[in-house]
Amino acid sequence: EISIFEAYKDKERVLKLSEKIKKLSEKIGRTVNIMEFCGGHTHAIMKYGIDQLLKGVVRFIHGPGCPVCVMPMQRIDLAIELAKRKDVIMCSYGDLLRVPGSKRKSLLNVRAEGADVRMVYSCLDTLKIAKENPDKKVIFFAIGFETTTPQTAVLIKKAKEEGIKNLFVVSNHVITPAAIQHILNAPEIREIGKVEIDAFIGPGHVSVIIGTKPYHYFAEEFQKPVVIAGFEPLNVLKAVYLILKQIYKGRAEVKNNYTRFVTYKGNLKAQNLVAELFELRKEFEWRGLGTIPYSALKIRKEYEEFDAEKVFEVELPEPKEHPACICGKVIRGVARPTDCKLFGTVCTPSNPLGSCMVSSEGACAAYYKYRRAL
């Protein structure tokens, strides 16, 4: 007996579906440009060689859906400056700790120099750290799309309920639909080498929280098919098939190909919790995409005692990107990792120069792992 996940990798079914896709592609008569928004899909496409399987049929344009990759240098600099303070314990998720800041140093580097930087698997671990270290200020550097925001909301709520006074959060939670809209509104990003993005593979995990409802606007207003998909090869191929079918018929609709987890309205309980604790920022800087209005969340006034950006004063100089790193272009989808002169030589996962080489969901790291030999 095979598990459901094994079934979604079944070679025979993969080849059969890819044949169906190729036949449909012949009828369309051109390569279809699909942006997979989520880094998890980029990883799956590279890992299973789906881009090779569908060469000439589909051009995958890797989107900005990797929370570590889109974190701008200035936010990394902020985390590093806070971490260097004597009375601070800085906590965040593993990958974030490896992203270099302006001075080519990461949180892990400043830890090696004596700062108290801790990797957490769950943001709720920071609650325990705060209780165990009452004389320290524990800061959680919160990152992520809609998938992780509810957990940060729970953390702040619990801290308030338990009267914790030494726990603070830097909220970097970002919003998927705002980024998609930005891409669709920006011709420089949307037209990749004068080729329009035809459709989107929508993120699976994010959509569990937000549902399929927000994507209908893109399908209707911009006439772009959106198919929500899981992360196994057959999930991705089925999404491609459903997109090509729509393009062939001249339609632009939202299809949910991840019905085992995603509903139309999403997780309302999580959405309400997030709305209780967070509100929209007027604007937020994304690496590669620039400033996007209403694309991130800040902690509400009622909980501002936990908002590290309100409690701590930090003055930061202008951030300095590595001059040869083209991460921004990779995130915008206008360059491939292999276009970067530093790819795989100076910049590797063990010595990342840009954020896209840090996380396994980053396009540079995915290319390095699965495409180095090509």
Q: Residue numbers of the site for ligand SF4 (CB under 6 A)?
A: 325-327, 330, 337, 340, 342-343, 347, 353-354, 356-357, 364
Output the smallest distance, CB 33 to ligand SF4, in A: 21
Which sign, positive or negative, has the C-alpha torsion 216, 8, 208, 336? negative
Q: Which of 372, 320, 331 is nearest to 355 (CA)?
A: 331
- Residue number of the CB closest to ligand SF4 reads 354
Q: Which helix or strand (DSSP H or E) is residue 286 part of?
A: strand 283-286
- What is the rounded distance in angstroms from the CA atom of residue 89 to the CA atom of residue 348? 28
CB nearer to ligand SF4: pick between 100 and 266: 100
**Cβ partners under 8 Å of residue 340, min gap 6:** 324, 325, 326, 330, 347, 364
- Residue 1 Cα distances to 7, 10, 267, angstroms: 10, 13, 32
Select 303 or 370, whichever has its Cβ closest to ligand SF4. Answer: 370
219/342 with CB nearer ligand SF4 = 342
Minimal distance in Å, beta carbon 97 to ligand SF4? 16
By beta-carbon proximity to ligand SF4, the closer residue of 115 and 326 is 326
Half-sphere exposure of 324 (CA within 13 A, CB side): 12
Shortest spacing between CB 347 and ligand SF4, in angstroms: 3
CB of 345 to ligand SF4, least distance (A): 9
- Give yes or no for a contact between 41 and 69, defined as CB atoms under 8 angstroms apart: no
Instruction: Give the shortest CB-137-to-ligand SF4 separation in angstroms.
Output: 32
Report the alpha-carbon distance of residue 171 to residue 337 in Å, rounded. 29
- Smallest gap, in angstroms, from Cβ of residue 75 to ligand SF4? 17
Of 46 and 308, the one with the shorter C-beta distance to ligand SF4 is 46
Looking at the chain, how many residues does it have? 374
Of 109, 112, 117, 35, the residue nearest 82 (C-alpha)? 117
Cα 82 from Cα 106, distance rounded (Å): 12
Nearest residue (CB) to ligand SF4, 151 versus 360: 360
Q: How far is the CB of 306 from ligand SF4 (least distance, A)?
A: 33
Minimum distance, C-beta of residue 328 to ligand SF4, in the bound complex (Å): 8
Whose Cβ is closer to ligand SF4: residue 68's or residue 262's? 68
| Cα–Cα distance for residue pair 141/137, rounded to 1 Å | 13
CB 322 to ligand SF4: min, Å: 6
Closer Cβ to ligand SF4, 179 or 330, answer by number? 330
**C-alpha angle 151/154/159, rounded to 5°?**
130
Pick 32 or 364: Cβ nearer ligand SF4: 364
Which token pair is 236?
């991705």
Left, alpha or beta for 50 (phi > 0: left; psi -120 to 50: alpha)?
Answer: alpha
- Measured distance CA(166)–CA(301) in Å, rounded: 18
Residue 331 CB, shortest distance to ligand SF4, in Å, is 9
Closer to ligand SF4 by CB, 24 or 357: give it.
357
Distance CA 259, CA 253 (A): 16
d(CA 325, CA 63): 17
